[in-house]
Amino acid sequence: MLSDRIASLAVIFAFSIGLGVATVAIPLLALDSGYDAAAVGFLVAVSAASQLGFRLCLPWLLRRVPDRSLTALASLLMLAGFSMLLVSTAVAVFVVAQLFQGAARAIFWTSSQTHAIRGDGRPVDRLVEMNVAGNAGTLIGPVVAGTLAVLGLPVAIAAAAVGAAVAALGTAALRRLPPYDRQRPSTSTGLLRRDGVDIACWASVVGGGWWAMLGSYIPVILVGASVGSQGIGWLITLSEGASI
């Protein structure tokens, strides 16, 4: 059986490829289905709101559900969202799929990080490895999406679903750990007063805003400029590479 460390990286890589594909494929699918730029922005905002809402619930969830189970749940939610879009692109289906995707992102990253720091090896090393695997996936995903979109946008969405499915299956190889218990309560106000934390928070705001534009208005603008799906995939990959 694969070691927990390798299994974790494989799960993160597969999930991130699905996310990278979705960054290109979902806005293009929305445009192809007749939605305008405002509707694309709304759908991305729905996903972001879902992600924020579930992040607030994660401390409660992590104390009650093993992180491996939460990682599997996140992958299955992502798979369900992509599968729904393969069946229908009605507005209600799109909204639910985006709700699932936002919840999946929130649950996956927090639970996978929690699992990483509880595993073997130094926590810092595990987190670095996790970020490298995630960045590799989000670099490859847009190119995969742009290339497959030439064959049809459903093909690209199916590739994202395959990534989510592989991540879900891969969680079976993760080490079984009990739910995470911090044992003592902590408040965020003390943490926010530490040097550099405020800058890191604002950096996250800027990075999140840019990622939201990559998943919404940047593809819309590029489509308006008559850039093909392959070109859009490569440009978003270059942008992600520059940020890395």
Mean pLDDT per segment of 10 residues, for the chain of length 244 residues? 79 93 91 88 86 86 89 95 94 94 91 82 82 88 91 94 95 85 58 69 68 67 79 80 66
User: What is this structure's pTM?
Assistant: 0.85
SS3 of residue 3 by DSSP: coil
CA torsion, points 155, 160, 164, 169, in degrees to nearest 10? 40
Measured distance CA(77)–CA(26) in Å, rounded? 16
Query: Residues 53-84, buried b or exposed e (16+ Cβ, 10 A)?
Result: ebbeebeebbeebbbbbbbbbbbbbbbbbbbb
Q: Are residues 230 and 140 in contact, defined by beta-carbon separation less than 8 angstroms?
A: no
Alpha helices (H) along 33-122: 37-62, 67-87, 91-118
Alpha helices (H) along 2-36: 4-32
Query: What count of other Cβ atoms lies within 10 Å of the Cβ of residue 166?
Result: 18
pLDDT of residue 1: 43
